[in-house]
Amino acid sequence: MKVTFQIEGESPVIIECNAGDNLLELARRANVAIDAPCSGNGSCGKCRVKLVEGELESPRSRHITDEEYAQGWRLSCSSLVRSDCTVFVPDIASAYQSRMKTADLSSPQEVAIFEECQAQLKQSGIRFTNHFRAVTVCLEEPSLDNTMPDNERLSWALEEALDVEKVEIPFFVMAKLASTLREHRFQVCVKGEVRGDTFQCMEICGPEDTAIVGCAIDIGTTTVTMVLTDLVTGRLLAKGSSGNGQIRYGADVINRIIEQGKPGGRKKLQDAIIKETLNPIIATLCKTAGISARSILRLSVGANTTMNHLFVGVDAGPVRMEPYIPSFFRWDGLLAGDLKLPANPLAPVIIAPNIGSYVGGDITAGTLASGIWDKDEMSLFIDLGTNGEIVFGNRDFLVSCACSAGPAFEGGDISCGMRATDGAMEACTIDKDTMEPTLSIIGDEGQKCVGICGSGIIDLISELFRCGIINAKGLFVREGSRVKRDAHGMGRYVVAFPEDSETGREIALNEVDIDNFIRAKGAIFSAIDTLLSSVDMTVEMIDRVYVAGGIGSGINMKNAVNIGMFPDVELEKFHYIGNSSLTGAHAMVISDEANAKTLEVAANMTYLELSTYPGYMDSFVAACFLPHTDARLFPHSVQEA
Amino acid sequence: MKVTFQIEGESPVIIECNAGDNLLELARRANVAIDAPCSGNGSCGKCRVKLVEGELESPRSRHITDEEYAQGWRLSCSSLVRSDCTVFVPDIASAYQSRMKTADLSSPQEVAIFEECQAQLKQSGIRFTNHFRAVTVCLEEPSLDNTMPDNERLSWALEEALDVEKVEIPFFVMAKLASTLREHRFQVCVKGEVRGDTFQCMEICGPEDTAIVGCAIDIGTTTVTMVLTDLVTGRLLAKGSSGNGQIRYGADVINRIIEQGKPGGRKKLQDAIIKETLNPIIATLCKTAGISARSILRLSVGANTTMNHLFVGVDAGPVRMEPYIPSFFRWDGLLAGDLKLPANPLAPVIIAPNIGSYVGGDITAGTLASGIWDKDEMSLFIDLGTNGEIVFGNRDFLVSCACSAGPAFEGGDISCGMRATDGAMEACTIDKDTMEPTLSIIGDEGQKCVGICGSGIIDLISELFRCGIINAKGLFVREGSRVKRDAHGMGRYVVAFPEDSETGREIALNEVDIDNFIRAKGAIFSAIDTLLSSVDMTVEMIDRVYVAGGIGSGINMKNAVNIGMFPDVELEKFHYIGNSSLTGAHAMVISDEANAKTLEVAANMTYLELSTYPGYMDSFVAACFLPHTDARLFPHSVQEA
């Protein structure tokens, strides 16, 4: 028996199978990317495929309308093969992968925020310098009177040029030393790092190629973002991003830890992030920047603890099992060659240190970028990703915690959710009387709606609540042409009717979506609340709130307060600082001092394990309400009468 | 068109070809090992194959008798394909490769010599100690109250156990840290090296595996020999040897340098030594010793300059081209992982330093082993290999030179020559009156003669000369049943008639063989002569002569003097020290002090380039005579009247 996958825009893939095989499993075996953020338990409804020919045994699902079912649409995770089949895999299924554009650094505002953060770091006294060098030397040509071997000849010249006592020439440079010297008539550019009295040579090439480059990478559970930067000038050379290829093994870290624990799983997950995700971006960025990968002399990575483990191929199993022991917080001495990254094999890979199983290097790098470690005033740093992490403190102390907010902020767990890319509704207002929305869609003029991204969901729920269309529990309490109910009575608000949407399908937010989102925002707020309590502080004592994350540049802070997601402080205290993990990683790749400071910040940060903290669950339950069970906490939240 | 190679004892290999293709070239392309020490110029006659079917265009050769030609025997190097062919490749063709037994360390005497040298080194004050350690630690198991990550937990325990300040855990150890700790309930053995205040961890395993092993390798142009040794006790764990797989690209270094210069040649030559030769021996030795390859924590290599370059895959081209500049003399920081050797990837590979293009690490390691650097008396050190190298001096000075003796001492360039293995005639006497020989054959009782090894050739020529069967020019001057002549009048001495030989073919030494050998011994003696002159010394001033090399344990020094190969000094001054390159490499792999001493010896050794030294050619021509043009140099040489 066999299944043919007709992948939108790609060559078909055929795989042998047996009757009763699960279609999603088959797709994974065949390396066909089908987006399944819930890891195949039927809850997210994103793994839709269309049966073209043959027979599948698929139960009905709330994610597939009757009409769609009649057209052949099925959820692959709950379909069993019953005959030779041909299924159509829509391109959206691989949207999380390499073809996806993401918001990170794609707009001038994002770049401006990124650069502003770097400037702030410099103001905090962090020098953006390192010990990498590209030095051009001209050697005396050998003769019968000067028969020094090539390596000594080069070492002598470098010792003089760089004022070092020792030069280390690695294997792969030695292997081409004779030919490179002779090809360029003994005038060559040598790249490497000065380490104390030693120069670690890392590359030799012709005198015209003097580029030395750093590569900073933010590995998010959902999205990967990367910049190449000149190690001498600090100039941004190229930037890019894509979905994390591991997404097909589950949307959250727990599902991925389970997957990596299966036979061959670690290799599979590592390949998904390195071979399938990072390597193509690095290749593209090198091309954009016009450099060879061998010129990348240092890399830095901001990633959560699980992503760090999966990235290096180390068992992440213990991370999720009591007593939650990762293999490492810090890792010194990792090299690009160890991971076969397309960079100089000797390039150090700096991993921003983790401080707990669920507060990772993305947060320590982000904390560095936020600058809160250098201030007298009390700051709250919130990183909204697939997990939410919170840091609070100032130059004297820092406490942190993590909460599992789920993928709702990135469009996951929401039936029409999507990331902040073309076609995403990223902001909206609703007319209280007509209940008609005014939408802001990412993309060119005339772009129709494809789905709703995180910032759009915040606005939408806030507006639905303000207009009294939903109540404090998130249930629909007004009726109208935009408010519809299904056969089970579940209400939804239609953002775009089928004829107005890009996909020809209705874009709506239903009560399950709202409930999912309320739990996500409840997790964030209760984490903040609990963290403050743990140090005997209250919301009033917060001087600044730094919000970071891939949720998009356009969070409407007023609306986020309105729904009880962020604490009700003056709006001018909020600062959006973009992808702070990337910003921090970027600082670390250029600056030895930023590196040292991040280690110091990590060493001084206390980790609060929320799951075992008394009172956290009560706080969470109380926060699963619009804006909160205790409305006095949100004096500025409005529900118009 | 195609050629089928029927390889004795192996599956046939078929290769597509065109009319006119050279058969030896085709064999090389098809990876069929055909022994061609002369690299295909028709002079050695060793690349015999037998045409079974089809048509080859092959000229007659002095190496093929009429009868053999009629049977189908051809020289593959001078055969062109004219139709689909099937050729039989005799097993002898791959004898140089892995199936060949060699003399090195195969006899108790050899081992005794090896151990005697090590003992001498210790007497010279070299301590046989190093900083490699295997330490078993028992870690506190993690709990909710002790949530230190695995790597810090391990580092703390090691810092305490070894009294170091820092522990470096490499990538491949990190990758299995979590599982190894848990599998062995946090009681593990860690192997590595203490470097100053740092412990470089290299392996983690269960507490029962505490082996730490060094691997010393002698890479000769013709033969490779290896020992595994316990890094703690110095005990020999396993030993083995085989032919150098590069032999099919030429018998001498010049042919191999030419081959490695062709497209893909460096990889091909490196694969031949590492993948085809070293890796199988290491695997066998690890099995014998009952250790895992990951327990090999250091390797050392004694090899000539060209072998060193080919081993590491570095262009050896400049070595043979004026001004003869190698890529390196010393190489620090090479790791087993760089070369993908089956050992611990972080195991340092110590290359005994070269001191010139033709005096390599085998000689510096051998000089170390000889102990001449520690003596007041004047010593001559002679290493007889494919090249001959000479060192002269004492604790105050050392001079060295190399001469191209060719492969005659190892049985090359001799029609019935072979290495010192089963069936080799290794010693003989001849009855002056009857001219009948008494042979000593390597092997079990009753072993018949297969060929003649280096020590056997020395004896044979010396006896032929003593008995007046050949004259001072090496031409036959007596007739008899043992002395035959071919159609061209070329004389030969029959060592074994066809019915008495193992192969059923006549074993004989002819005038061309004798001429080749006289040139080889002439090269050795004139090198000694020239080296002594260069420091204004004479033969009388020699206090000791150390003879090393793979020529076999049984050199009859009297005969070697008799033919004018070694200087005519008292026989008791001669000492055979076996494979001194291996002995030196072995000392270096165990002992940090032996390492340092070898560098010191190399740094203090002067290199004399013979080819440009005035008078060398005259000296060589004068030495191409039995025993020498100036017979006064050899008062003890006898030719009985």
Cβ atoms of A224 and A243 within 8 Å: the answer is yes
pLDDT at A324: 85
Structure token pair of residue A279: 């390597």
Higher pLDDT, A247 or B510: B510
Task: Give the best residue of A146, A148, A315 to mutate against chain B (max B CB count within 10 A).
Answer: A315
pTM of the model: 0.82
pLDDT at B610: 87
For residue A329, give the chain B residue with the closest CA.
B149
Beta strands in B85-170 (DSSP E): 85-89, 132-138, 166-168
> Under an 8 A CB cutoff, do B328 and A175 touch?
no
pLDDT at B94: 44
Q: Which of A115-129, B63-77, B403-417, B452-466 has the lowest mean pLDDT?
A: B403-417
Question: pLDDT confidence of A104, banded at 50, 70, 90?
Answer: low
- Which of these, B251, B360, B256, B242, lies nearest to B310 by C-alpha position? B256
> Under an 8 A CB cutoff, do A149 and B323 touch?
no
B→A contacts (Cβ < 8 Å), by residue, are 142-144, 146-152, 168-172, 174-175, 177-179, 182, 312-315, 317-318, 322-335, 338-339, 354
Structure token pair of residue A372: 């809160």
pLDDT in tens, A271-310: 999 999 999 999 999 999 999 999 999 999 999 999 999 9
**Best-predicted range by mean pLDDT (A110-114, B4-8, B305-309):** B305-309
Q: Name the β-bridge partners of B510.
A: B492
Q: Which of B148, B177, B317 faces A178 most closely, judged by CB atoms?
A: B317
Question: pLDDT confidence of A611, banded at 50, 70, 90?
Answer: confident
pLDDT in tens, B176-207: 999 999 999 999 999 999 999 999 999 999 99
> Under an 8 A CB cutoff, do B178 and A335 touch?
no
Would the pLDDT of B66 be above 90? no
pLDDT at A132: 98
Question: pLDDT confidence of A92, banded at 50, 70, 90?
Answer: very low
Q: How many residues does chain A have?
A: 641
> Under an 8 A CB cutoff, do A147 and B325 touch?
yes
For residue A172, give the chain B residue with the closest CA.
B338
> Under an 8 A CB cutoff, do B327 and A150 touch?
yes
Q: Which of A146, A149, A326 faces B329 most closely, judged by CB atoms?
A: A149
Q: Which of A313, A330, A335 faces B175 most closely, judged by CB atoms?
A: A313
Cβ atoms of A351 and A331 within 8 Å: the answer is yes
Looking at CA atoms only, how far is residue A265 from chain B in angstroms?
Answer: 13
pLDDT at B98: 32
> Under an 8 A CB cutoff, do B174 and A150 touch?
no
> Under an 8 A CB cutoff, do A312 and B175 touch?
yes
Looking at CA atoms only, how far is residue B610 from chain A in angstroms?
Answer: 14
- Range B386-401 average pLDDT: 93
For residue B345, give the chain A residue with the closest CA.
A338
Q: Round the CA-based radius of gyration of chain B to a whole number and report it.
A: 27
> Under an 8 A CB cutoff, do B152 and A313 touch?
no
pLDDT at A543: 97
Cβ atoms of B526 and B619 within 8 Å: the answer is yes
- Range A378-382 average pLDDT: 97
Would the pLDDT of A507 be above 60? yes
The packing angle between helices B592-604 and B580-590, to 10°, is 130
Q: How many CB contacts within 8 angstroms connect chain A with chain B?
A: 117
CA distances from B503 to B67, B92, B423 (A): 15, 11, 10
Question: pLDDT confidence of A37, banded at 50, 70, 90?
Answer: low
Would the pLDDT of B586 be above 60? yes
Average pLDDT, chain A: 90
Would the pLDDT of A159 be above 90? yes
pLDDT at B100: 36
Cβ atoms of B524 and B382 within 8 Å: the answer is yes
> Under an 8 A CB cutoff, do A174 and B318 touch?
no
Higher pLDDT, B95 or A30: A30
How many Å separate Cα B44 from the centre of its chain? Answer: 20
Cβ atoms of A191 and A218 within 8 Å: the answer is no
Q: Which of A149, A150, A325 faces B149 most closely, judged by CB atoms?
A: A325
Question: pLDDT confidence of A443, banded at 50, 70, 90?
Answer: confident
For residue A305, give the chain B residue with the closest CA.
B149
Q: Name the β-bridge partners of B230.
A: B213
> Under an 8 A CB cutoff, do B327 and A152 touch?
no
Would the pLDDT of B641 be above 70? no
Query: What does A120-188 look like in DSSP terms, one character per residue?
Result: HHHHTT-----SEEEEEEEPPPPBTTB---HHHHHHHHHHHHHT-SEEE--HHHHHHHHHHHHHTTTEE
pLDDT at A97: 39
For residue A340, give the chain B residue with the closest CA.
B171
Would the pLDDT of B282 be above 90? yes
> Under an 8 A CB cutoff, do B314 and A178 touch?
yes
Structure token pair of residue A202: 């890392």
pLDDT at A91: 60
Per residue, the 3-state secondary structure of A500-514, as one string, reads HECCCCCEEEEHHHH
> Under an 8 A CB cutoff, do B325 and A148 touch?
yes
Looking at CA atoms only, how far is residue B402 from chain A in angstroms?
Answer: 17
Chain B contacts of A317, Cβ < 8 Å?
Answer: 178
Instruction: Round to whole Å and give the CA distance between B142 and B136.
Output: 18
The phi-psi region of residue B446 (left if phi > 0; otherwise alpha if psi is between -120 and 50; otherwise beta) is left
Q: Tokens 């918001």 sit at which residue?
A: A103
Higher pLDDT, B166 or A115: B166
> Under an 8 A CB cutoff, do A314 and B175 touch?
yes
pLDDT at B96: 42
Looking at CA atoms only, how far is residue A605 from chain B in angstroms?
Answer: 15
> Under an 8 A CB cutoff, do A313 and B150 touch?
no
What sections of B127-189 are H helices per DSSP? 150-162, 171-183
- Which of these, A6, A25, A33, lies nearest to A94 by C-alpha position? A33
Would the pLDDT of A40 be above 70? no
pLDDT in tens, A229-238: 999 998 999 9
pLDDT in tens, A449-461: 999 988 899 999 9
> Under an 8 A CB cutoff, do A323 and B147 touch?
yes
CA atoms within 13 A on the CB side of A306: 26
Q: Tokens 């007709």 sit at which residue?
A: A6
